[in-house]
Structure 1
Amino acid sequence: MTGTRTFEVPDALSDDDVAALLAAKADRTVSVCLPCRDEAATVGPLISVIRTELIEKTGLVDELIVVDDRSTDDTARVAAHAGARVVSIDDVHAEHGIGHGKGNVLWASLLVSHGDFIVWCDGDVTSFEPDWVMKLLGPLLDDESVAMVKALYHRPTKYGGGGRTTELVARPLMSRYFPALTGLAQPLSGEYAGRRSVLEQVDFVQGWGVEMGLLIDIARRFGAESIAQVDLGDRLHRHRTLQSLSVQAAEVMGTMLGRAGVAGESGDVLRRADGSEVPLNLASRPSLQSLGLSRGTSRR
């Protein structure tokens, strides 16, 4: 298995670059999906930019969906007012059974969307640029061998930095068990795009391990060279505490070790120093293809 690929993109896309993307897109469709829980403070401007610049102005994006994961604030109202189609995770659960976690929401967004290409972006990002979607789509539109495109970016330390779970957990385990993926600068990034026909063939880990699970499973099925990355510049988002990151890190670790065939001895829990135990969410949603729910519209 060879390694992942980095695609060079200009810092700013010209009108000619946008026109080339639209020509490469042809009759295929693009869905932008935002998984959200309590993102009322940030999701409105994000949706407005996508709708104005990528739907109304260029027509590159055909569908904009927010999957609301039981928000207790005004996320759903703000998102709908800004112009997104809002889907409640409870409506998905009513038909397909209850799930939990970020991966569950990503799986739901694949289920309720229609695009040949799916672009995901976290709802708490405050530095979003329309170029992000264009740059993530570029390799998928230009090269049929590309299945997924991850973002790489810089997180300014003066705003809290980031990437602690990546550097302290994901990267050491990638180096040991999945070396073909080590070229990815941000394997856990929440901004990435994929080909529907590929995404419908793989399971989605329900918890925080979803990104690593997708990378490992796609690399195994289609080759690590089917995974690409592009530079999106700076990224700013909500900064998490170390205590909250410990659960994320444990779920990423559990997902990676499970796929490496390393069995745990103490169950799927995180044991803290005070004796408390936090259950880990390592369950998966089955592939849409295995459920007979595949739309199969993309050409891969």
Structure 2
Amino acid sequence: MGDFSQTGAITTLHNLTRRSAEELEQELVAYASSRPVTLILPSLFSELEGDALPAIVDELAQVPYLNRIVIGLDRADRDQFAHARSFFSKLPQDHVILWNDGPRLRAIDAKLAEAGLAPTEPGKGRNVWYCLGYALAAQNADVIAIHDCDIVTYSRDLLARLVYPVANPAFRYVFSKGYYARIANNTINGRVCRLLVTPLLHALNLTVGPHNYIDYLSAFRYPLSGEFAMRVSVVPDMRIPTDWGLEIGVLSEMRRNTSARAICQVDIADIYDHKHQDLSQEDRTKGLSRMSIDITKAIFRKLATEGVIFSAGTLRSVKATYFRAALDLIESYHADALMNGLTLDRHKEEQAVELFAANITAAGEVFLENPSETPFIPNWRRVNAAFPGLLSELADAVARDGADGGLQG
């Protein structure tokens, strides 16, 4: 059962009464008549062959208020695209697939790259960016929701609770961020959020703060969740990071472009589990190791844009303060786990903290060497200014892929 506490920085919408999905959906059907809802699913082809996405599609097939589902398909050849079309055909809602590796969308990407406006690396950020562009081109959505395709505990009430705050016309919110407890296999998960982001923000508050941005991020119970919904009006000005800083970057963009009073977080699931990344202690370019570096860089960059000055000495203080705070939190998490009949491997927790501490130093060194580096893809307003007809080209390419299976691309 959720509590009713509010931090004051943003609104928290709790799950206090366990309203049924059917009751929420009944209201959403009425709201969607004037605020059409589009769902974006950024997917790897490999996820079509896993256990999570087939179950997600079965749940989504029962959702009555979705106007359209936009699937961004990565790492798929022509035969795999054909399989994806069959796979998603069970969805009764209007749906389209962006074949991101197909020749038509590749041609658009090459055109943007020539002008320095294309995403610089593949990944979820690039996938989401093109899907958002398509949603703008389609001009038939007022609310856009995004969630991952590897959620093994998915149920359709997750989506209903995520969408509700921005779909309800009685609310002022233009952005909602999902949160939940990461509990699976009788233990507490979510190491990057628990053992990196939370103590890092505490350390930054002590060393370079207090700062409004730190308070803002600290107000989110799960800032790294991949589930969020927004009014379409905020999309043209939103820059999407290409690296693992996507979720932090989106939160930063929302703070930059809108009022905190229009931002909320919402409890969307009692149980949530998805694909777990390896810690990757031996390779900083993979897994949670790379994720921790990208997230840390994203936070440093944002603070620098707001006037915070970093030096090598500052970063050493941040690391030392972080390390102490993170070790203290392990004790708290261990007690919480025992209280709830769960297990927590303290050795592995401390290994993660040691890795994250080293990566804070690595991220700081990269930042100091190239403080002007930006991982953001240009927003769609800029792209539209440079290529006024590109959104129409994107919509046409997706439509033609859907009509001929990409055979004429």
Decide: shared fold, TM above 0.5. Answer: yes
Cα deviation per residue 1:42-85 (whole Å; 9 max; x = unaligned)? 323312321x211xxx2x11111221122479864554223352
Offset of residue 22 of structure 1 = 2.0
Q: Residues 112 and 249 (structure 1 numbering): CA distance in 2 closer, same or farther, change over 3 Å? A: same
Offset of residue 290 of structure 1 = 2.2
2:32 to 4, 25, 49: 25
> Which range is displaced more, 233-242 or 64-73?
64-73
- What residue in structure 2 maps to residue 169 of structure 1? 196
Q: Please tell me whether residue 61 in structure 1 is matched to residue 66 in structure 2.
A: yes
Cα deviation per residue 1:87-139 (whole Å; 9 max; x = unaligned)? 12234442133532221111111011242211111111111111111111111
The residue matched to 2:380 in structure 1 has which SS? coil
The TM-score, its normalising length taken from structure 2, stands at 0.61
Q: Residues 219 and 173 (structure 1 numbering): CA distance in 2 closer, same or farther, change over 3 Å? A: farther
* Greater helix fraction, Structure 1 or Structure 2: 2
CA contact (8 A) 1:34 1:67 kept: yes
1:291 to 383, 387, 396: 383
Offset of residue 185 of structure 1 = 1.1
Unaligned runs of 5+ residues in structure 2 are 1-6, 90-94, 206-212, 281-286, 313-355, 360-365, 368-372, 392-409
Runs of 4+ in 1 over 4 A off after TM superposition: 71-78, 262-265, 279-282
Q: Please tell me whether residue 251 in structure 1 is matched to residue 294 in structure 2.
A: yes
Give the Cα–Cα distance (whole angstroms) in 2 for the partners of residues 228 and 211 of structure 1: 15
AA of the residue aligned to 1:43: L
Q: Please tell me whether residue 87 in structure 1 is matched to residue 117 in structure 2.
A: no
Instruction: Name which one, 1 or 2, has greater alpha-carbon Rg.
Output: 2
The residue matched to 1:291 in structure 2 has which SS? helix
- What residue in structure 2 maps to residue 276 of structure 1? none
Q: Residues 151 and 21 (structure 1 numbering): CA distance in 2 closer, same or farther, change over 3 Å? A: same
Q: Please tell me whether residue 3 in structure 1 is matched to residue 13 in structure 2.
A: no
Identity %: 22
- What residue in structure 2 maps to residue 116 of structure 1? 142
CA contact (8 A) 1:219 1:226 kept: no
The residue matched to 1:242 in structure 2 has which SS? coil
> Which range is displaced more, 171-180 or 26-35?
171-180
Q: Residues 3 and 160 (structure 1 numbering): CA distance in 2 closer, same or farther, change over 3 Å? A: same
Unaligned runs of 5+ residues in structure 1 are 273-278, 296-300
1:237 to 274, 277, 293: 274
Q: Please tell me whether residue 186 in structure 1 is matched to residue 222 in structure 2.
A: yes
AA of the residue aligned to 1:169: L
Give the Cα–Cα distance (whole angstroms) in 1 for the partners of residues 39 and 187 of structure 2: 27
AA of the residue aligned to 1:235: Y
Matched residue pairs, number? 282
- What residue in structure 2 maps to residue 47 of structure 1? 57
Offset of residue 218 of structure 1 = 0.9
Offset of residue 234 of structure 1 = 0.9
* Greater strand fraction, Structure 1 or Structure 2: 1
Q: Residues 148 and 93 (structure 1 numbering): CA distance in 2 closer, same or farther, change over 3 Å? A: farther
AA of the residue aligned to 1:259: K
Offset of residue 204 of structure 1 = 0.7
CA contact (8 A) 1:44 1:78 kept: no
CA contact (8 A) 2:143 2:167 kept: no
Give the Cα–Cα distance (whole angstroms) in 1 for the partners of residues 311 and 289 of structure 2: 17
Q: What pairs with 1:102-141 in structure 2 (closer than 5 Å)? A: 102-113=124-135, 114=138, 115-141=141-167
> Which range is displaced more, 210-219 or 285-294?
285-294
CA contact (8 A) 2:175 2:263 kept: yes
Give the Cα–Cα distance (whole angstroms) in 1 for the partners of residues 244 and 36 of structure 2: 28
- What residue in structure 1 maps to residue 241 of structure 2? 205
Give the Cα–Cα distance (whole angstroms) in 2 for the partners of residues 85 and 156 of structure 1: 33
Offset of residue 212 of structure 1 = 0.6
AA of the residue aligned to 2:192: T
AA of the residue aligned to 1:44: P
